Amino acid sequence: MMEDDIEYLIKAGYWMSVSPVMSKEKWAWTCGVYKRGKKTGNWITEDCKTHKTPSIAYEWGAERIKDIIELAEHKEHKIEHKVCSENKKNKI
């Protein structure tokens, strides 16, 4: 992971880790996606999934964080739009 990636994830309040685990007598790789809590600052597990290789696990984690951030931004935009619409209705 590059330094820019690390800075972006921390600033966005997300992190991921990939760890080896034994599954059916073979090594597998579990990726955990974490979100930093606003009040406590503690890291909370958002999602996790086990994969055959560490590179696939990292790719999944990066894509999962991207999806989570985009969904949060979409919800925030939708809430802002709803508030603006309600404010316009109340002024008429």
Q: What is the pLDDT of residues 16-54, one digit of tens each?
A: 999 999 988 999 999 999 999 989 999 999 999 999 999
Instruction: Take residue 57 and report the two structure tokens written for it.
Output: 């696990």
Position 77 scores a pLDDT of 67
- Give the chain's mean pLDDT: 87
State the CATH number of the domain containing residue 78. 3.30.160
**Between residues 5 and 91, which one has the greater pLDDT?**
5
State the total domains in the chain: 1
Instruction: Take residue 10 and report the two structure tokens written for it.
Output: 């921390």
Range of the domain at 45: 3-91
Q: Which residues of 3-16 are buried (b: 16+ CB within 10 A; e: fewer)?
A: eeeeeebeeeebbb
Q: What whole-number distance in Å separates Cα of residue 81 and Cα of residue 18?
A: 38
Residue 54: which residues within 8 A CB-CB, separation 6 or more? 18, 20, 29
